[in-house]
Chain A
């Protein structure tokens, strides 16, 4: 079975500071990994994904994540936070084959203060 753990339900950073949102996964088969962002009253928007190939993936809005198999992690980073980054972030996993249903973590709410 697959699962996702997001460490820290709330993260607060200053504008311009590094953003680090943690995600660890469990999967018995090679995973596909994702980060989604959810703004209030909106649907989920894909930030970035890892399927195969390069383990450092770049996404939209300056975010990137690195797949580390040995650590079973897929942490999300952004060098400099912007006020508009304040939102809920979800890490998710699925696997090749099957029906690609996404297994989500509980989410991390990011607050950015001036």
Chain B
């Protein structure tokens, strides 16, 4: 089947605009993660969903960032009033079973959305 898909692949926003980034996880995957990858850096965790429940949002950098997964499948990351420091690649990953078990379950990553804020 298809892997994780993200849209749009590229987004240019003027400072102060709101943006919405979409993630379609692998069908049936329970866990969904968002990461932010700044230029020249490794990805950093933003938030985690188990089905529709957002269980960890400790990585969201400010209250301008909001994520949802209302039906437990597609997820949207929304950034309000974008700032230049929000420019990054936003990666989505999904895994089959709930995180927090004793064994690790592989996270499958999408291609990312490259956000540029002018």
Q: Which A residues contact B (CB, under 8 angstroms)?
A: 4, 9, 32, 36, 41-46, 49, 51, 90, 92, 94, 96-107
Which of the residues B4, B55, B100 comes within 8 Å of A43, measured between beta carbons? Answer: B4
**Assembly CA distance A94 to B42 (angstroms):** 14
**Assembly CA distance A74 to B39 (angstroms):** 24
Interface extent on B, as a size class? 20 to 34
Question: Do the beta carbons of A41 and B111 come within 8 Å of each other?
Answer: yes
Residue on B with the closest CB to A98? B100
Question: Do the beta carbons of A96 and B91 come within 8 Å of each other?
Answer: no
Residue on A with the closest CB to B104? A32
Asked if B77 is an interface residue, CB under 8 A from chain A, the answer is no
Q: In the complex where A43-B110, A43-B112, A44-B91 touch, is A102 in contact with B100 (Cβ < 8 A)?
A: no
Identify whether the interface residues of B are mostly helix, strand, loop, or mixed. Answer: loop
Question: Do the beta carbons of B42 and A99 come within 8 Å of each other?
Answer: no
Asked if B65 is an interface residue, CB under 8 A from chain A, the answer is no
Question: Do the beta carbons of A96 and B102 come within 8 Å of each other?
Answer: yes
Question: Do the beta carbons of A99 and B4 come within 8 Å of each other?
Answer: no
**Assembly CA distance A83 to B95 (angstroms):** 31
Asked if B66 is an interface residue, CB under 8 A from chain A, the answer is no
Chain A residues whose C-beta falls within 8 Å of the C-beta of B105 in the assembled complex: 100
Question: Do the beta carbons of B111 and A102 come within 8 Å of each other?
Answer: no
Distance to closest chain A CB from B89 (angstroms): 10
Most chain B CB within 10 A, of A44, A45, A105, A106, is at A44
Say which one of B12-20, B43-51, B68-76, B80-88 lies at the interface with A.
Answer: B43-51
Q: In the complex where A102-B43, A102-B45, A103-B45 touch, is A97 in contact with B109 (Cβ < 8 A)?
A: no
Distance to closest chain B CB from A33 (angstroms): 10
Q: List 9 A-B contacts (CB under 8 A).
A: A44-B43, A45-B109, A51-B104, A97-B100, A98-B100, A102-B45, A103-B45, A106-B40, A106-B41
Question: Do the beta carbons of B109 and A99 come within 8 Å of each other?
Answer: no
Question: Do the beta carbons of A99 and B99 come within 8 Å of each other?
Answer: yes
Task: List 10 A-B pairs, minimum CB-CB distance, nearest first.
Answer: A104-B42, A43-B109, A100-B99, A44-B109, A101-B45, A99-B99, A43-B111, A99-B48, A32-B104, A99-B56
